[in-house]
Amino acid sequence: MTNSEVKQIFDASFLDITKKLVRLEVSRMDKIEDEQKDSLFIQGYRDKIETKGAVNTTVICQFPKPLFQYIISTMHGGTSPAEEEIPLYVNEYMNIICGHAISKINNITKTKSRLSVPEFYGEEEPLDFSAERDKEQYLAYESPYGVLQVYLFIE
């Protein structure tokens, strides 16, 4: 399976599962220049998940604050969860989207890859992935709450 095919499967999962899980239709943004990527993420949160096995991928999602708040409050029935539970909601969002994608990949390739437990990074926590940019596949989605950015690093 090519990197482009892996990217397409993750893309479909982000679109479908975001709609199903948090009732939000996001639209893919094409042709984002490198210098634009940083300016799309001013303040917000990140979540990271890895796939290990036949397909080794690191997926990092960047959520602007308003989008992040929309996702967790929708998953929590319209209100904000307790502070200490917030990471668990966004982790579940990532787990479901990436689990859906990797299941499709496993079924198509008849191979086995597994998901790690997602890791949440708060506003102040550094997550430097600039060195990996040569392996990067990038996806961005426009929503009324800001741009969801997804970095896929496929080994």
Query: Binding mask 90-109 vs other proteins (x if CB under 8 A, - otherwise)?
Result: -xx--xxxxxx-xxx-xx--
Torsion sign across C-alpha atoms 18, 20, 21, 22: positive
Q: Does 77 bind other proteins (CB under 8 A)?
A: yes
The correct pick among 112, 127, 132, 144 for binding other proteins (CB under 8 A) is: 112
- Min. distance of Cβ 1 from other proteins in angstroms? 14
Torsion sign across C-alpha atoms 64, 141, 91, 16: positive
Q: Does 81 bind other proteins (CB under 8 A)?
A: yes
Indicate the residue among 43 and 111 with the shorter CB distance to other proteins. Answer: 111
Nearest residue to 147 via CA among 61, 23, 20:
61
Per-residue b/e over 98-129, b at no fewer than 16 CB within 10 Å?
bbbbbebbbeeeeeebebeebbbbeeeeeeee
Indicate the residue among 114 and 133 with the shorter CB distance to other proteins. Answer: 114
Q: Does 89 bind other proteins (CB under 8 A)?
A: yes
The answer for 87, left when phi > 0, alpha when psi is -120 to 50, beta otherwise, is alpha
Indicate the residue among 48 and 100 with the shorter CB distance to other proteins. Answer: 100
Q: Answer yes or no: are the C-beta atoms of 152 and 134 closer than 8 Å.
A: no
Span interacting with other proteins, options 32-40, 60-68, 83-91, 121-129, rule CB under 8 A: 83-91
Q: Does 76 bind other proteins (CB under 8 A)?
A: yes
- Min. distance of Cβ 6 from other proteins in angstroms? 15
Query: Binding mask 11-30 vs other proteins (x if CB under 8 A, - otherwise)?
Result: ------x--xx---------
Pair of tokens at residue 72: 């967790």
Q: Answer yes or no: are the C-beta atoms of 57 and 6 closer than 8 Å.
A: yes
